[in-house]
Amino acid sequence: MCGIIGYLGGREATPILMESLKRLEYRGYDSAGVAVLEQPTAGQAIRTSVTKSEAKVDMLIEKLEANMPSGKLGIGHTRWATHGKPTYINAHPHTDCHGKIFVVHNGIIENFAELKAELEAEGHEFPSETDTEVVPHLIEKYYKGDFLAAVRAALKRIKGAYALAMFSSEDPELLVGARLNAPLVVGLGEKEYYIASDITAIIPYTKRVLVLGEGEVAAVTPLGAEVSTLDGVTVKSKVVHVDWDVAQAQKGGYDHFMLKEIHESDDAVANAMRGRLTDDGSVSFREFDVPDEQLRDITDVLLLGMGTSLHAAMIGEYVIEDWAGIPARAEDASEFRYRRPTVGNKTLDVVITQSGETADTLVALHQARERGALSVAVTNVIASSAARDADGAIYLHSGPEIGVASTKTLLAHTVSLFLLALRLASVNGRVSLERRQELVEALRALPEQVRMLLEREEEIFALADKYSGYRNFMYAGRGLGYTVALEGALKLKEISYVHAEGTSGGLLKHGPIALLDEQFPVVAICTVSATKDKMVSNVHEIVARNAPVLALVTEGDRSLDGVATDVFVMPAVEEAASVILNTVMLQLFAYRIGVKLGQDVDQPRNLAKSVTVE
């Protein structure tokens, strides 16, 4: 999400921070800032200069050039807002009550509300709306003259995800970094050291990097970098030598942003759940904190979206009806705006838009609100139009998505809708505690299951290579698998320009089957579900028309052995969880075909990331 840079060495820190933040702009951001520990002149006390911009890095650079801080230690940050709007006050770095401790942060602190309440009760004051600000105040609370010890004590209290760069004006030769569930590296130069959220920021300065492990802290001094656990146990870290150029570094070593972002899917799924889901299945949304009584009055749910977001809406429709027992309908927002829909003050209107600026979806949102509907925007961008115009928001916390074709944000949308469905089911007493716990277990297992699937990339690429010569595809599924089929077909046509269409298995016989022959392969979603046996029958019908079949099946299921042309075995999971895993597989499949055909998969022709016109 956010970009982090820290420097300690013999050169002026400010120019290095400025250049590094420019290289981190590709990540997407809404504000920026730096803190530099200035060199005191004779008779002066040490002071820290903080410069922020609520806009682009270029504006920050203009401010710095007009009043350039001089110092050898500093930290910088580009912020992708997760808690609090993109304002000057909310921009990093953040500090403690006495202005001695300075922190930049990437990630989400799940328990920030309870920590903030504790600290406020002890007299700490919080000017910003961010979750990050609890970190310097918590360090201040534990500071007893040893900054590193105070950092370790504070971090033991924090739950969630963090990559942090920190310093204290009382320890002018110490730069500290720490990570948990968010990447952070230490760059090792010639008598100078860097802390960064990714290699991009530091690649012009050094090719030697130390990658921090989970729950590790790096203490950087002029003598070098020492890594330890939160308990102070020294860790021997591996130094990695990289030979990437800046463009490769921005992509994390991947060939394309799309592939990089597919590989960030596990984090996107985890971040969508952070701080929202308890062990007993209770769900809370900080920015959509609607009382149970109001949600019990909801009689129907309207889900609006376009493109991939419409497919997420269709998944939401299915699980809300299945889990919560509330009538739900997914609608193409561009068509909804020209109808006279039956929407009233007992309707929950859920608008799904990655950017929060999709024109058709915004108009549909306004129409539903005019008819009295309670509205919530499910979006990746804080303070976007959808988030501002709706009654509340469910933020994805996926970080920037550079590739035009939505990948990781679709998965975050889907998980967010699972949580909304579980919230509605709970307030209406539709699911038992035992069933809620089963769903919690399934959802919390997803990030690791996605990681394991991504490790099978070469197996998926081999299948894609085999099928890359075909010019027509059909994707078929039933139930939730139908929506997976629609999305799989959309991804293939978006980035490879190969004709593909999605259909339900039941609808296949009512027209689409006429297209099938030996040159028209079918990707069949046959993982475990209530309609799996029906889908297996559909595959037999397809094979009878000589069409090649690539079937996704659940491990242990041998029903299509010797029937389907190719079988890809998926892990045995809850049906809702299979949506996530099947989608990741098909994203990799489409990506590889697009690359094999020589297409620009990051920027497909005629498409835009945010569609702001009708």
Residues assigned a catalytic role: 2, 609
CA 48 from centroid of its chain's CA atoms: 33
Q: Are 139 and 98 in contact (CB under 8 A)?
A: no
Residue with tokens 């429709």: 317
- Which residue in 396, 447, 390, 365 sits closest to 28, CA to CA? 396
Q: Are 120 and 126 in contact (CB under 8 A)?
A: yes
Identify the three-state secondary structure at position 60: helix
- Which residue in 593, 588, 572 sits closest to 521, CA to CA? 593
Residue with tokens 């595809």: 473
Query: In 24-155, which residue ranges form alpha helices assigned H by DSSP?
Result: 57-66, 112-121, 134-142, 147-155
Residue with tokens 């042309």: 565
Q: Are 581 and 570 in contact (CB under 8 A)?
A: yes
Question: What Cα–Cα distance (Å) separates residue 13 from each residue in 64, 167, 249?
Answer: 12, 13, 22
Q: Are 74 and 35 in contact (CB under 8 A)?
A: yes
Task: Report the amino acid identity of residue 177.
Answer: G
**DSSP-derived secondary structure for 66-96:** HS----SEEEEEEE--SSS-S-TTTSSPEE-
Residue with tokens 């895993």: 581
| C-alpha–C-alpha distance, residues 270 and 67, integer Å | 41
Output the six-digit token pair for 201.
């920021």
Question: What Cα–Cα distance (Å) separates residue 228 from each residue in 154, 165, 557?
Answer: 15, 15, 46
Q: Are 75 and 169 in contact (CB under 8 A)?
A: no
| C-alpha–C-alpha distance, residues 586 and 592, integer Å | 10
Please give the angle made by the CA atoms of 396, 399 and 402, to the nearest 5 degrees.
115
Output the six-digit token pair for 7.
């420097």
Task: Report the amino acid identity of residue 157.
Answer: R
CA 530 from centroid of its chain's CA atoms: 30
